[in-house]
Amino acid sequence: MHPNTQALIILAGGLGTRMGHVKKAFLDMGGKPIIQRLLDELAPAFGEVVISCRDSEDFADYPATLAPDRFEARSSLTGIHAGLSAMRSTHAFICACDAPFVRRKLAETLMREAKPEDDVVIPLKSDGYMEPLCAVYSKRCITPVSEQLSRDDFKIIRFFDQVRVRTVDAETLRKADPELVSFMNVNTPEELAASRKLL
């Protein structure tokens, strides 16, 4: 499946609790907000761009469809639901606004691994864990995700047994992102400092 016929969804509605309640999308990384870094890197590869957010006015100046949460509780799964509901495409690559180093080649690799019948195409890391916030999702996920959110169950992988899931191994992904820096995020001040040092 080719990326430029599908959507990019950036999740930007988190509370930033461990970062002192700052909006992580706007943290400075190399002289520009993380959200802008992600858009510069990823948006050119996709035919549609969606920012899933709680406060639409924060992102009014960005060239993207804004997707406000449709459920009251804040969670990554809530953001996934909002983004999928707002997009026109059948599938989307989804990443979080606190992952400043997501590589376009890795996103393109995951999209190209996706078949039309797949609902989730997700990295399977060498430690056996999946990476649900750097993965491809189809619009068919909306119904099971909505049902799960209505039960106040926010664990992303919980609905996977109701959809078609394809995993992509770390060896394949390292061809696109040798150090797998796409999976790094900045949840704490310490992680932010480490990321700036890496940059």
pLDDT in tens, 68-91: 988 888 799 999 999 999 999 999
- 156 close to 80: Cβ distance less than 8 angstroms: yes
What is d(CA 120, CA 139) in angstroms, rounded to the nearest whole number?
Answer: 10
What is d(CA 142, CA 31) in angstroms, rounded to the nearest whole number?
Answer: 36
Q: What does the pLDDT read at residue 20?
A: 46
Could you give the domains of the chain? 3-198 (3.90.550.10)
Residue 191: pLDDT band with limits 50, 70, 90 = low
What is d(CA 34, CA 28) in angstroms, rounded to the nearest whole number?
Answer: 6
The CB-side HSE value for 167 (13 A sphere, CA atoms) comes to 12
Q: What is the pLDDT of residues 142-156, one digit of tens each?
A: 999 999 999 999 999
Q: What does the pLDDT read at residue 103?
A: 97
| Residue whose structure tokens are 């995951």 | 110
- Flag whether pLDDT at 165 surpasses 90: yes
197 vs 87, which has greater pLDDT? 87
Query: Sign of dihedral through CA atoms 11, 16, 18, 22?
Result: positive
- Flag whether pLDDT at 2 surpasses 60: yes
Neighbours of 63 (CB within 10 A): 9
What is d(CA 30, CA 26) in angstroms, rounded to the nearest whole number?
Answer: 12
Tell if the pTM clears 0.85, that is, is over it. yes
Q: What does the pLDDT read at residue 14?
A: 60
Q: What does the pLDDT read at residue 23?
A: 82
Amino acid at 92: A
Q: What does the pLDDT read at residue 15?
A: 55
Q: What does the pLDDT read at residue 78?
A: 95
Average pLDDT score over residue span 158-183 = 96
Q: What is the pLDDT of residues 13-46, one digit of tens each?
A: 765 545 445 788 998 888 999 999 999 999 999 9
Average pLDDT score over residue span 96-100 = 94
Q: What does the pLDDT read at residue 22?
A: 72
Closest CA to 173 of 132, 130, 138, 124: 124
